[in-house]
Chains A and B, each alone.
Chain A
């Protein structure tokens, strides 16, 4: 992002502390996540330290701090899924992709998230890939999904 992309975005705001959340929302809409660069820019704009901004932003699960991958893998960690092996699935995703929770693979193909109950407990364990829910997941099926070409 260039200087002018930020100045255009900031022009919509007054530059007071109360703008913090709305500014972050706009940035996430634009970039898909809140980059370190963005936090630095917002810090100069709103005169808040980067640590303050991160503290506030990280409180809200809706903000993400890593660039989203092409496919977003969300493993459900709700109670039902947990009981039926959610944790194991989540570890499998980690091994397969070589990234931790909240991270994105180097080739930007996948990012890996965990989620609270996704609302389809009878189908547990559940993994979501972008907007598609994959129910009754197993490690083998998971591998297939991850290896499938787009």
Chain B
């Protein structure tokens, strides 16, 4: 045999192999298809050597080394399957099993039972015992099977630990735990979240957070990475318990934020039963956040999904057929003048949906009146935000940067895959600076935490710009009114070899957001740092490139440009004039009332009666209590349609249909096309998403191939400015005796198609805690408010009631609330007083 460069020769089970040096015996065996049973080893984790299932014989070594931790060496002679090895393994396995309540593992009737599981009865049940939620997917089960265990010879020792069900999304039954430590290693090494640890010792050892706290209290991100690696049923996803193995998987892109994680949807029959990270995608590197990991199943298969179209009049809802619904929509729209029409389309839709939606407005309705909810989300700072997108660095910049500045970023639940990268960066020696009014999940790893105080010290960024600007070096030693942290942070940034600035959601709804984002831009300029804007909307970039705004047309060109729009009209074969009605999402309800408002995956941000005479609402869930739509059309979720998204770095990524839409639901583009065709307009007979994509490709750069989308990040290039509210706002004022608290508000970053994920995914309610007033413990004590009490918050011309949420991280004298979209506090932040209701 010819020796490969640097390869070493080993003998395993009487065969010689050439393997790369430095690998473990286990890896060498796996590469050569030799099976060694394992429990604690995992490809993504460092070897641990805890379970001892993988012991082998190595000539010249005393005892039996564990294959997963022992590196090979040249000439090593290994036996993986001798009688001695087998009997020791069996002994170890027996010890495991004596602590593992699992009658199924050794049941005599196991084989026959499987065969006859499905019986003919009048009810759809299977016979046979199902004691473990993980049955059929348990690695311990596999090992037992392979080693042909027939009986458990030791007395059963049941630890009788309480099954922990109090946290959302997964439950923990440590009676089934084999203490392999995979979850601990995952949480500590890979996620670097440090929620799980081995507690106590010996027989008492249990896994969990400090003081037996719940995972919510302990700072868990609910990323589910621990659940994924657990070989047994001790960690079980609640929604997937007892589901068994999925039939197939479909690769897709997450639609809950601009990171755009690649994921595998697990499909069983015609249902989505779960989602797992795709291995090694450059965007998310095998990780997800709570939204991608746990929210999809519940969101897309919720019992309240819209299945049939209905009309609403005289206070009742009446189901109609799809044909009738399309006909009604066509009739109402034919009757509507261009400036009486308005459309809001969700920046969560695919590019293809967005493209068809804006084409519908322009080509069918002859109107530029199309907009997205991103306008109200970014408000006054939208243009400044676009400026940052024009400078956007790729996500990989975090992996290389030596200094990382986080502005209003909290990665516990949103974008937590970026948080993972940040913590890894710290390990390799990068320095983190975080600017945030509250203690949050990055303060522990940050070298400096610059605490802003809403309404008082939000100019921290401005100071940083000054301190890093030209000619600032002289003044650096503590100018007046500048904190130590700021000076230190400025120095760190100025000296950084490579810096990046990550922008989170905290300050985006402040009245001064435009100035804050402008400071970020200047700071980046002063220090040569890259910027990662990390949009909360998964396809914000796409919505801009597709022209889903009155000011923008496909390709990101200006709608007002005669040349660009002329070319588009030519491509579409349009003749008439396209009217611009001064419409946008922020001004809805304030100007002239519309005749028809068409909501494509959006909610009505103002009372329906003020917005339009007739509202067409197309979404995956009904509008619920918020408002009544006159015509409701069921749409397909992102798991039920094909298309592409563009993530925050400008990568075009595929979305794939994993299951069929339920009931009468159709993808947004298809419904739009049906209505357009019913109205007799040409140019809407797309056979599939690919044909839309082909039409788009002629108009938008970077959309060449549908099958293989552009994988390279690409900063936003359009230079068109959007029409955002300008002018001076009335000053918010300072806290005083009458109004002693500064209240800041943000719009939830966890929204999807016009509602918050917590509207439809129960488990996220305690995590996202929207519509709850965060109060510092000291302030709560003084005002005699306890957790959950209703609190009345008043200022000049403003009164709201929210339940209290007492948070140690909230600074004294400040209050914070996260709201659903379009109910923001105005001005923001501003001084208020509060009192407990009913006292």
Contacts and interface: CB of A to CB of B under 8 A. Distances in A.
Interface of A: 36, 39, 43-44, 47-56, 58-59, 61, 65
A52 B194 contact: yes
Interface in B48-93: none
Contacts of B218: 50-51
A52 B210 CA distance: 8
B195 interface: yes
Contacts of A65: 211
A36 B195 CA distance: 16
Interface in B661-686: none
Contacts of A44: 444
A105 to B, nearest CB: 19
B194 A48 contact: yes
25 contacts: A36-B210, A39-B211, A43-B444, A47-B445, A49-B195, A50-B210, A51-B196, A51-B197, A51-B209, A51-B218, A52-B188, A52-B194, A52-B197, A53-B210, A54-B197, A54-B209, A54-B211, A55-B197, A55-B198, A55-B210, A58-B200, A59-B200, A59-B201, A61-B201, A65-B211
A50 B211 CA distance: 9
Interface residues of B, number: 17
Given A39-B210, A43-B444, A51 B195 contact: yes
A39 B217 CA distance: 14
A123 B193 CA distance: 49
Given A47-B445, A54-B197, A36 B211 contact: yes
Contacts of A55: 197-199, 210
B763 interface: no
Task: Identify the interface centre among B188, B210, B211: most chain A CB within 10 Å of its CB.
Answer: B210
B832 to A, nearest CB: 29
A47 B210 CA distance: 15
A contacts with B: majority SS = helix
A46 to B, nearest CB: 10
B820 to A, nearest CB: 32
Given A36-B210, A39-B210, A61-B201, 18 more contacts: A36-B211, A44-B444, A49-B194, A50-B209, A50-B210, A50-B218, A51-B194, A51-B195, A51-B209, A51-B219, A52-B188, A52-B197, A53-B210, A54-B199, A54-B211, A59-B199, A59-B200, A59-B201
A47 to B, nearest CB: 6
Interface in B160-205: 188, 193-201
Nearest to A47: B444
A43 B209 CA distance: 13
A44 B219 CA distance: 14
Nearest to A53: B210
A116 to B, nearest CB: 11
A89 B264 CA distance: 56
A59 B200 CA distance: 4
A38 B461 CA distance: 33
Nearest to B205: A59
A50 B193 CA distance: 11
Contacts of B444: 43-44, 47, 49
Interface in B198-247: 198-201, 209-211, 218-219
A36 B218 CA distance: 12
Interface string B430-464: 00000000000000110000000000000000000
Contacts of B219: 49, 51
Nearest to A59: B201
Nearest to B220: A51
Contacts of A49: 193-195, 219, 444
The 6 A-B pairs with the shortest beta carbon distances in the complex, nearest first, are A55-B197, A54-B210, A49-B194, A51-B209, A50-B210, A51-B210
Contact of A58 (B193, B194, B199, B445): B199
Contacts of B201: 58-59, 61
Task: Identify the interface centre among A36, A43, A49, A50: most chain B CB within 10 Å of its CB.
Answer: A49
Task: Identify the interface centre among B188, B197, B209: most chain A CB within 10 Å of its CB.
Answer: B197
A59 B194 contact: no
Contact of A59 (B193, B198, B210): B198
Contacts of A54: 197, 199, 209-211
Task: Identify the interface centre among A47, A48, A50, A61: most chain B CB within 10 Å of its CB.
Answer: A50
A51 B221 CA distance: 14
Nearest to A55: B197
A2 B205 CA distance: 33
Nearest to B426: A47
Nearest to A65: B211
A37 to B, nearest CB: 11
Contacts of A50: 209-210, 218
Nearest to B201: A59
A56 B198 CA distance: 8
A138 B188 CA distance: 48
A44 B809 CA distance: 13
A53 B209 CA distance: 10
Contacts of B197: 51-52, 54-56
Contacts of B195: 49, 51
A47 B188 CA distance: 14
Nearest to A44: B444
A47 B431 CA distance: 13
A65 B193 CA distance: 23
Contacts of B211: 36, 39, 54, 65
B222 to A, nearest CB: 15
Contacts of B200: 58-59
B513 to A, nearest CB: 30
Contacts of B196: 51
B174 to A, nearest CB: 15
B215 to A, nearest CB: 10
B509 to A, nearest CB: 29
A49 B423 CA distance: 13
